[in-house]
């Protein structure tokens, strides 16, 4: 089997690594320059995208922001999983909100903004604490603006005046006073079977994921049921095939969907050590028509993103139950360079490994690590 992935970053790399034992070969499209590359070395292969599509049994994506002409070409081959519609819904917040409303899945109150003056109306309707999100191409908190009070409104409108909101509208969302953030990853097979990973708790800093803990502590069956029900509605709506991620805000005992990602997801990286079958392997299994693997967690796991730094000692590998996954990138502010997976039998045991790890890291780049270790201890 050959699989072609659109996008050639770390997610393609980790899909490749999980596919090798299954006898599946993976190559990738660099969507910036339309070349076909090896997902590990990133070396260009002597092949056009058309040739790669012919050679591939299955096509998939590592991220949702694939240019639409490429997606159309992929969809028309009849080999793309998940479908173009599912991918576009993850790529466009207007479509995403429409689907959530249609399926009656709880999400944050919002309005669509196609002209800056509509922000006044949004403040009147939703209140002065707002988060404005570009409907397309945002990730890691990029393409977002926050309003914390009415006084800051004129300046914000001035800032946004240069955007072409007719072409790329904004979503004005009510700032949700959430208790915490959770995500549910699941995988749906070609036959429509669904397997769920346990909910993960996600800690963000400046709009970017820093730490995930899975299974999330203090989850009752009612929360799991809400999350799985939202997931199932979405996955069935798209006749989805592959791994799908749904991000939630927990407010009391209610879950609101923040956004969906039609792909493997950073908050599922823990599954490489922490689950029987990783999200990457399960995605490859699903899209190639293989049986799904067990999604159960082995003990407790924490995933620590390495963001914007490379000045740590690889002596951290001497810690038991500590695994490093590097993406082979040069360092840049806010760039995800890799992640570290930690496991323990219990939360206090996991907390101990986290505290030990902190001694090996430039802690200013890991603002959530010790806080979270303290909470789990």
344 binds, among Mg ion, ligand ATP, none (CB under 5 to 8 A by kind): none
372 binds, among ligand ATP, Mg ion, none (CB under 5 to 8 A by kind): none
Q: Which helix (H) or strand (E) holds 257?
A: strand 254-261
State which of positions 247-276 bind ligand ATP (CB under 6 A): 247, 258-259
Nearest distance, CB of residue 143 and Mg ion, angstroms: 9
134 binds ligand ATP (CB under 6 A): no
140 binds, among ligand ATP, Mg ion, none (CB under 5 to 8 A by kind): ligand ATP
Nearest distance, CB of residue 195 and Mg ion, angstroms: 22
207 binds, among Mg ion, ligand ATP, none (CB under 5 to 8 A by kind): ligand ATP
141 binds ligand ATP (CB under 6 A): yes
Annotated binding site for ATP: 93, 133, 138-144, 173-176, 181, 204, 258-259
Q: How far apart are CA 140 and CA 206, in angstroms?
A: 9
CB closer to Mg ion out of 38 and 140: 140
Nearest distance, CB of residue 93 and ligand ATP, angstroms: 8
> Side by side, which strands form the sheet with 170-174?
110-113, 170-174, 130-134, 144-147
Bridge partners of 259, per DSSP, are 247
141 binds, among ligand ATP, Mg ion, none (CB under 5 to 8 A by kind): ligand ATP
Distances (CA, A) of 201 to 21, 198, 262, 290: 30, 10, 19, 29
State which of positions 62-91 bind ligand ATP (CB under 6 A): none
Closest CA to 235 of 189, 277, 285, 296: 189
Residue 197 · residue 214 · CB < 8 Å: yes
Nearest distance, CB of residue 259 and Mg ion, angstroms: 5
DSSP 193: -
108 binds ligand ATP (CB under 6 A): yes
Q: From the CA atom positions of the chain, what is the Rg in Å?
A: 21
Q: How far apart are CA 363 and CA 376, in angstroms?
A: 18
């Amino acid at each position: 089997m050959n699989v072609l992935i659109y996008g050639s970053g770390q997610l393609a790399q980790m899909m490749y690594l999980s596919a090798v034992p299954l006898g599946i070969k993976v190559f990738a499209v660099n969507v910036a320059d339309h070349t076909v590359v090896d997902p590990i070395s990133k070396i260009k292969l002597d092949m056009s995208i058309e040739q790669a599509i012919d050679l591939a049994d299955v096509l998939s994506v590592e991220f949702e922001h694939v240019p639409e002409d490429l997606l159309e070409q992929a969809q028309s081959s009849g080999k793309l999983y998940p479908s173009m519609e599912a991918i576009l819904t993850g790529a466009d917040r207007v479509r995403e909100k429409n689907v959530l409303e249609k399926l009656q899945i709880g999400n944050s109150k919002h309005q669509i903004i196609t002209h800056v003056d509509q922000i006044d109306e949004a403040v009147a309707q939703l209140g002065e604490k707002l988060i404005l999100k570009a409907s397309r191409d945002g990730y890691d908190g990029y393409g977002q603006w926050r309003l914390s009070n009415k006084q800051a409104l004129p300046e914000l409108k001035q800032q946004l005046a240069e955007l072409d909101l007719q072409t790329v509208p904004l979503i004005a969302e009510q700032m949700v006073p959430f208790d915490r953030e959770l995500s549910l990853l699941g995988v749906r097979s070609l036959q429509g079977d669904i397997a769920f990973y346990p909910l993960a708790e996600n800690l963000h800093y400046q709009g970017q994921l820093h730490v995930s803990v899975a299974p999330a502590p203090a989850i009752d069956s009612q929360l799991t049921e809400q999350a799985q029900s939202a997931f199932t509605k979405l996955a069935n709506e798209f006749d989805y095939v592959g791994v799908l991620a749904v991000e939630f805000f927990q407010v009391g005992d209610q879950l609101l969907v923040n956004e969906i990602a039609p792909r493997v997801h950073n908050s599922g990286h823990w599954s490489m050590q922490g689950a029987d079958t990783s999200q990457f392997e399960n995605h490859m299994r699903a899209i190639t028509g293989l049986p799904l693997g067990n999604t159960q967690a082995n003990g407790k796991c924490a995933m620590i993103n390495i963001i914007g730094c490379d000045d740590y000692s690889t002596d951290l590998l001497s810690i038991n139950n500590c695994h490093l996954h590097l993406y082979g990138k040069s360092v840049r502010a806010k760039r995800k360079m890799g992640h570290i997976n930690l496991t323990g039998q219990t939360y206090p045991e996991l907390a101990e490994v986290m505290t030990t790890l902190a001694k090996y890291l430039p802690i200013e780049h890991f603002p959530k690590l010790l806080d979270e270790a303290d909470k789990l201890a």
